[in-house]
């Protein structure tokens, strides 16, 4: 394993920071963070946002402030005012949604001219902001959105995911997950379709964060929610409560290069028709909190799945495409015991490592190393852990670890290469960056 080096600490601009009194003391922080190319194509930039309130208390899904800054920590633009730390990563994405070569910010936004209950989206609209200036390009408050009302354990997890639903040359659509409802939109914020999952009970609800990908090879993305697979037009390809705690999902290569739907509940793998390709079963995976798919072992060229199999605990198993358990080990404790991510840290083509809570783990040996000079997370709430965005920002063909703690006013970037490496030019974002899986 290449030793990690702290490549850069990026301070969120002071005007974008805020303070709150928590547990009888004052805490200065920034908020939830996204990254993309805002100044120009290929630049490495960031956006911090805050919502009207904490989502567990109401309003956390409704951003009211967003501030853009570059990799040197220099402010670019900001819109809105104040806001508080949302208790979960929320409905904000950075992507070139209209195909003009420049990134935009796609987000929900709280309307000042409408009053509504905290769990109602009647006072919320979709916005597309120009990435260079923050100026409003499009806004829409369709009834399919404003009629949504919070209910069930899945409501607090809101996420915008960029997708290619219409078969365009670049992805120019997106879905937004609102509890049991999935809404699909095009680049003009026109509603493409709406889906509502029949399950909403805790432990028997769809994935907290769905996944998009082209599972059938037709040039259009499907949507995997664990208990359902939707075609690009929103039609149901399959729908079933396969196992409890289908919390984490993906669409990715699995057996012999075949694209499959992966689900953490029971360690399941499905094809596009709903046939079970693999099931580890509830004896091995009684509570599949998180699942990540990559090649984690040197001597096996096929992907494996790393599953946090015992809920919010540190227990990990690694299984291959035949269902054989190859290794078991325990990650370090981290607040809420979530947040692991596969990182392509070694040489191109070599196995991936697992990041978790300030440490980097080798799933082949079960050994981990600490990331140096990273401050301990300040445990002021559920979100007081490190969020990992794997991204190549140093130009070394390897993924760096971009970390932020929403209760901290800085971003920390770790590299396996030279700590003096320059910023990559140009930076290229893919689905692992613009659809980054933050805290399932």
- Report yes or no: 380 and 406 within 8 Å, Cβ to Cβ: no
CA 330 to chain centre: 23
Give the pLDDT band (50/70/90) at residue 277. very high
Q: How many other CB atoms are there within 10 angstroms of residue 312's CB atom?
A: 13
Residue-wise pLDDT for 122-160, tens only, equals: 999 999 999 999 999 999 999 999 999 987 778 888 899
d(CA 371, CA 6): 8
Spans of all domains in the chain: 5-434
Tell me the DSSP string of 203-240: TBS--SB-EEE-SSSSSS-EEE-SSEEE-TTS-EEEE-
CB 42 within 8 A of CB 428: yes
Q: Which CATH class is domain 5-434?
A: mainly beta
Q: What is the pLDDT of residue 57?
A: 59
**Residue 25, pLDDT above cutoff 80:** no
CA-to-CA dists, residue 371 to 2, 4, 152, 403, 414, angstroms: 12, 6, 37, 11, 8
pLDDT at 400: 95
pLDDT in tens, 284-295: 999 999 999 999
pLDDT in tens, 173-221: 999 999 899 999 999 999 999 999 999 888 899 999 999 999 999 999 9
| Average pLDDT of the residues in 92-107 | 97
State how far the alpha carbon of 245 is from the alpha carbons of 88, 344, 355, 409, in Å: 19, 27, 22, 34
What pLDDT score was predicted for residue 311? 96
Q: Provide the whole-model pTM.
A: 0.96
Query: 304: phi > 0 → left, psi -120 to 50 → alpha, else beta; which?
Result: beta
Please name the residues in contact with 81: beta carbons below 8 A apart, sequence gap of 6 or more: 64, 65
pLDDT the model gives residue 56: 64
CB 183 within 8 A of CB 191: yes
Average pLDDT of every residue of the chain = 93
């Amino acid at each position: 394993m290449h030793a990690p080096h702290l490549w850069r600490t990026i301070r969120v601009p002071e005007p974008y920071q805020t303070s709150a009194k928590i547990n009888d003391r004052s805490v200065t922080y920034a908020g939830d963070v996204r990254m993309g190319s805002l100044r120009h194509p290929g630049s490495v930039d960031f956006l911090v946002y805050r919502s009207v309130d904490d989502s567990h208390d109401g309003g956390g899904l409704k951003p009211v402030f967003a501030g853009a800054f570059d990799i040197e920590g220099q402010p670019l633009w900001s819109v809105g005012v104040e806001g508080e730390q949302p208790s979960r990563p929320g409905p904000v994405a950075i992507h070139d949604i209209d195909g003009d070569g420049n990134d935009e910010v796609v987000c929900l936004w709280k309307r000042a001219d409408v009053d509504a209950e905290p769990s109602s989206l009647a006072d919320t609209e979709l916005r597309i902001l120009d990435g260079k200036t923050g100026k409003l390009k499009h806004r829409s408050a369709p009834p399919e959105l404003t009629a949504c009302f919070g209910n069930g354990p899945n409501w607090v997890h809101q996420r915008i995911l960029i997708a290619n639903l219409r078969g365009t040359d670049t992805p120019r659509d997106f879905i937004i997950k609102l509890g049991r409802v999935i809404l699909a939109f095009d680049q003009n914020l026109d509603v493409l379709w709406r889906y509502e999952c029949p399950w909403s009970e805790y432990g028997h609800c769809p994935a907290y964060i769905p996944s998009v990908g082209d599972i059938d090879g037709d040039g259009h993305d499907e949507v995997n929610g664990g208990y359902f697979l939707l075609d690009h037009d929103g039609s149901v390809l399959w729908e079933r409560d396969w196992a409890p705690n289908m919390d984490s999902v993906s669409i990715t290569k699995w057996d012999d290069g075949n694209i499959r739907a992966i689900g953490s509940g029971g360690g399941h793998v499905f094809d596009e028709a709903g046939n079970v390709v693999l099931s580890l079963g509830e004896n091995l995976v009684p509570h599949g909190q998180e699942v990540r798919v990559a090649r984690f072992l040197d001597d096996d060229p096929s992907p494996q799945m790393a599953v946090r199999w015992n809920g919010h605990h540190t227990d990990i198993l690694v299984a291959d495409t035949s269902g054989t358990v190859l290794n078991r080990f325990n990650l370090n404790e981290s607040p809420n015991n979530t947040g692991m991510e596969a990182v392509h840290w070694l040489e191109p083509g070599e196995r991936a490592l697992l990041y978790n809570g300030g440490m980097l783990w080798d799933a082949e040996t079960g050994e981990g190393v600490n990331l140096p000079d990273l401050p301990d997370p300040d445990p002021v709430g559920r979100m007081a852990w490190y969020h990992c965005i794997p991204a190549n920002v140093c130009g070394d063909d390897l993924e760096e670890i971009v970390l932020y703690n929403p209760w901290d006013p800085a971003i920390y970037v770790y590299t396996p290469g030279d700590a003096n490496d320059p910023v990559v030019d140009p930076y290229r974002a893919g689905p692992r960056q613009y659809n980054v899986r933050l805290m399932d």
